[in-house]
Amino acid sequence: MDDSKRGMSRRKKLAIALVLFLLAAIGLGVGLGVGLKKGSSGGSTASPATTSPASSGGVAVQQPFPLGAWSLPTYLTNVSAACTPNAATWQCYPYSTFTTSGQNSAATLDWMISSSSSGTAPSNSSLLISSSANPFSLSFTNISLTLHDANTANERYTFSTPLIKQVWPTVALTNDNVRVTCFYNNSILTATLYTRMPATLLSSANASGTALGYNQWPGAVLVEQTSAGGVGVPDCYRTVGGAVVGGSISAQAGLTAQAVGKVCSCVYENAALEGAG
């Protein structure tokens, strides 16, 4: 075979090989494309990872009212130390009343309302309220809420619970000037949460104190902690390293019992509500 025929034969072989290579490459590309498409489709049918509003930016999940996490902006409006012979043994956070300083009397409570029943529309009789960490030292869990005057302008939820109040007096009660903790063991916490009555005392500065993940309660709020006088009121002890030591120093400190009708109180509200039914 002459050189020209050999050259032509080689060119034909190269051309055939090139065609086969191109066909193989096209087939591989189509196969990969189909495979990737199936993989994408398969991924979309699996349960996607979801982020709830509560875990994204701290925004509370929408729930049927009044369920949810609520910030209750209030002011300390009234303090009475009638149950003790030494007013320094009864204190109310933030230690300044509204008439003295509106800004310095602002105090916000963060409370959560849940339900003991399941379902999207829990009954009012199943509502429970709990506290979160706050400077009031008002700690309680799953206290029943009661609805009053439903569907009226005076609609409100209320609760009441025994709650020991602790006070750390800033004046010396003992000769050795050691720190003292006083306990009001029979104090009562009561709260009224109005749903439609406006918070007339509330300023924009106080309202801006809403905690991350909490919504501001839509109405007026009245919160009171009270303790009646009597034997052992208050019950005070030396405190070392954050722990009480020894016996009660109330008698040593001259803390004589007051009449049961003498009541200490801390009143918080965001409208003129004290004494309202």
Model confidence pLDDT, tens digit, residues 16-52 = 554 444 444 444 343 333 332 323 333 322 222 222 2
Question: Which one, of 109, 249, 225, lies nearest residue 174 by Cα?
Answer: 249
CA distance 93 to 188: 16
DSSP 7: H
pLDDT at 251: 94
Model confidence pLDDT, tens digit, residues 162-195 = 999 999 999 999 988 899 999 999 999 999 999 9
Would strands 68-81 and 221-228 be described as parallel, antiparallel, or unpaired?
unpaired
CA distance 181 to 240: 10
CA distance 124 to 127: 6
Would strands 68-81 and 215-216 be described as parallel, antiparallel, or unpaired?
parallel
Using alpha carbons, list the distances in angstroms from residue 191 to 35, 36, 157, 225, 257. Answer: 63, 61, 8, 9, 27
